[in-house]
Amino acid sequence: MHLAAFLSSPAFRKLLASLIVLAVFYGVLRGVRRVLRLTISDERIRYRRNKLAYYIVGGLAVLVIGAIWMESAGKLTTILGITGAGLAVALHPVVMNIAGWLYIIVIRPLRVGDRVEIGRVKGDVLDVRLFHTVLLEVGNWVEGEQSTGRIVHCPNSVVLSQPLYNYSKEFPYIWNEIKVLVTFESDWRKARDILLQQALDKTEDVQEELRMQFRDMSDRYLIRFGKLTPIVYTQIADSGVELTLRYLTGVWQRRTSQDAICRGILEAFERESDVDFAYPTYRIYRLGEGVNSP
């Protein structure tokens, strides 16, 4: 008897209508995504269109279901106002995450595919959701800022309270440095030239693209680099002459470019009899006699 009464009640009819609305909008969303998959080959564009369709269809579904359950627009407005005030107080972190999402969507300090550092987390942006941003972590215990394989969910509120570092949005190149220590007896000038030539050879194919990217960025920001080509700095260290090679490389090519340059340096040093790597040494004294030991 109670079941029959419930099935004939207005609440059941509203629940049934809500389920039908959800099913219809879910079918529409799946159809839109299928059409996008067939008509758009670019993954980035297809992803953005899918997200837009999700927000539009989801928003329409919420409005329709809200209209089903609310008897009048005035009552709906009142309930939404009271609910919003309560959420602002009781769910402050959630509200801040939504505010961070709006900041990301409107201001666009990051996009899917960018490499960023948010708070203490560094990684490639996989998705931007209502409450959090999804990153594929890089760095941490892995050298060369390569992927750790971990998926990290960063609350969107972090972008409102902490610095956001974007590696690739405006200028997808970063400065990398390789330090080499040669002995005082080595021809450090020749060693410096070897480092410089190796960097020039390994980065030659990106120099023109690099200059074009920098010109585009300088149109938007008051920024100047005194030098975009590789440079070697010289410093006197305790155990020898320290040479620091500084060069620009792609954000995602830091480790591969360093590997190629280091292998070139090792091969070049092998061919030179007057250039040797230095290493820390210590001196042992025994019975008044000094003995040099590595």
Give residue 117's pLDDT. Answer: 93
The domain boundary residue, chosen from 100, 132, 166: 166
pLDDT digits (tens, 9 = 90+) for 32-44: 888 877 777 777 7
Give the pLDDT confidence of 111-121 residue by residue, as tens digits: 988 999 988 89
**Domain presence at residue 277:** no
Same domain assignment for residues 200 and 231: yes
124-166 pLDDT tens trace = 999 998 889 999 999 888 888 888 999 999 999 999 989 999 9
How do residues 201-250 score in pLDDT, each as one tens digit?
888 877 778 777 777 776 677 666 667 889 999 999 888 999 999 998 88
CB neighbour burial string for 65-94, b if at least 16 within 10 angstroms, e if fewer:
beeeebeeeeeeeeeeeeeeeeeeeeeeee
Mean pLDDT of the chain: 81
Residue 28 in any domain: the answer is: yes
Confidence of residue 88 (pLDDT cuts 50, 70, 90): low
pLDDT of 94 over the 80 cut: no
176: left (phi over 0), alpha (psi -120 to 50) or beta: beta
Q: Provide the number of structural domains found in the chain.
A: 3
Q: By the 8 A CB rule, do 247 and 198 touch? A: no
100 within a domain of the structure (yes/no): no
Residue 275 has pLDDT above 80, yes or no: yes
How far apart CA 183 and CA 241 sit, in angstroms, is 6
Say how far apart CA 154 and CA 196 lie, in whole Å: 40
- pLDDT exceeds cutoff 80 at 193: yes
For residue 160, the domain's CATH number is 2.30.30.60
Q: What is the pLDDT of residue 15?
A: 73
Which pLDDT band holds residue 169 (cuts at 50, 70, 90)?
confident
Instruction: Report yes or no on 259 lying in a domain.
Output: yes
Quick one: pLDDT at residue 74? 54
Tell me which of 66-70, 86-90, 99-103, 218-222 is least confident: 86-90
Task: Examine the pLDDT at 51 and tell me if it is beyond 80.
Answer: no
Q: Does 56 fall in a domain?
A: yes
Do residues 16 and 77 share a domain?
yes
Q: In the 3-class helix/strand/coil scheme, how is the chain assigned residue by residue?
A: CHHHHHHCCHHHHHHHHHHHHHHHHHHHHHHHHHHHHHHCCCHHHHHHHHHHHHHHHHHHHHHHHHHHHCCCHHHHHHHHHHHHHHHHHHCHHHHHHHHHHHHHHHHCCCCCCCEEEECCEEEEEEEECCCEEEEEEECCCCHHHCEEEEEEEEECCHHHHCCEEECCCCCCEEEEEEEEEECCCCCHHHHHHHHHHHHHHHHHHHHHHHHHHHHHHHHHCCCCCCCCCCEEEEEECCCCEEEEEEEEEEHHHHHHHHHHHHHHHHHHHHCCCCCCECCCCEEEEECCEEEEEC
Statement to judge: residues 84 and 122 lie in one domain: no
Instruction: Give the per-residue pLDDT at 1.
Output: 46
98 located within any domain = no
Predicted pLDDT of residue 11: 66
Averaged over 3-17, what is the pLDDT?
66
Question: End of a domain among 139, 166, 193?
Answer: 166
Please give the residue range of the domain that contains residue 211: 173-270
The arithmetic mean of pLDDT across residues 161-181, rounded, is 89
